[in-house]
């Protein structure tokens, strides 16, 4: 097919040295609002099937600019990673009648050892069998499949838990490079019972090698329970920049 789509950059702050978690809470909310509004606008193009919001922070994460920014890609196909996740979620729903992400959150809350932070409307945790050391997910506790449909209230809650979670990672790991990705439903299917939008944060503490590329399996030297305990142990004074 022809190369059709869009690629935009969102500059998150006029201050060159400040990372996203170091911005005031209201500014983070403004950034998230820009993510949502541009996702909605790009998704209105009938040729667009999927909109991906992602952030590469630092050279190891693939950033080519030091200034804090995120990127948005609108594509005429559903990327394979998203398609596989959607298919797996659908299979689980057909078997259990429930969203697998809602089930995961229930189990994480009940077990407790992998929780990083819990708020009224959001939960962050290091997922079971994490692919990467200190990999952390952020999910809305109320079922929703499309980030582009997030309300102002939802974005306020997301700003709060994102500031805390990224701040804990920044402090615990001495300002690591990281990738940040918003997984969401396809543009034409914003209301899916079986899928749940979420954010994946992946600190770049090591590089993938031949084993990972050749097998699709990952070597993670840090158990998620240990990572979550380390992130939780920080006091607010240690991770709050502003």
Look over the chain and give the mean of its residue pLDDT values, rounded to a whole number.
95
pLDDT digits 0-9 by tens, 22-36: 999 999 999 999 999
Domain boundaries of the chain, sorted by first residue: 6-208
The answer to whether residue 242 scores a pLDDT higher than 50 is no
Spell out the residues 6+ positions from residue 213 whose beta carbon is closer than 8 angstroms to its own.
none
Residue numbers annotated as active site: 69
The reported pTM is 0.94
- Which percentage of the chain shows pLDDT scores above 70? 99
Helices 152-172, 25-43: axis angle to 10 degrees equals 120
Domain 6-208: give its CATH code. 3.30.428.10
- Alpha carbon distance 84, 200 (integer Å): 16
pLDDT digits 0-9 by tens, 181-237: 999 999 999 999 999 999 999 999 988 889 888 998 889 999 999 999 999 999 887
Average pLDDT of 115-122? 96
Q: Give the model's pLDDT for residue 10.
A: 96
Phi first, then psi, for residue 52 (nearest 5°) are -110, 125
Considering only CA atoms, which of 215, 144, 163, 190 is closest in space to residue 18?
A: 163
Alpha carbon of residue 205 to chain centroid: 17
């Amino acid at each position: 097919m022809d190369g059709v789509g869009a690629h935009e950059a969102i500059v998150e702050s006029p201050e060159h040295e400040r990372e996203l978690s170091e911005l005031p809470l209201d500014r983070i909310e403004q950034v998230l609002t820009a993510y949502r509004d541009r996702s909605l606008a790009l998704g209105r193009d009938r040729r667009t099937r999927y909109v991906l919001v992602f952030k590469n922070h630092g050279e190891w994460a693939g950033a080519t600019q030091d200034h804090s920014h995120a990127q948005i890609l609108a594509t005429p196909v559903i990327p394979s990673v998203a398609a596989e996740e959607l298919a797996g979620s659908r299979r689980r729903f057909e078997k259990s009648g429930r969203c697998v992400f809602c089930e995961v959150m229930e189990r994480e809350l009940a077990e407790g050892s992998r929780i990083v932070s819990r708020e009224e409307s959001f939960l962050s945790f290091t997922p079971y069998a994490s692919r990467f050391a200190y990999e952390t997910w952020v999910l809305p506790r109320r079922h929703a499949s499309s980030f582009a449909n997030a309300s102002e209230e939802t974005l306020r809650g997301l700003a709060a838990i994102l500031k805390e979670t990224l701040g804990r990672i920044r402090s615990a790991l001495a300002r690591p490079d990281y990738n940040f990705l918003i997984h969401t439903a396809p543009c034409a299917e914003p209301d899916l019972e079986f899928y749940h939008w979420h954010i994946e944060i992946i600190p770049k503490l090591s590089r993938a090698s031949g084993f990972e590329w050749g097998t699709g399996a990952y070597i993670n030297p840090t158990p998620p329970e240990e990572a979550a305990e380390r992130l939780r142990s920080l006091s607010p004074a240690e991770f709050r920049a502003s």
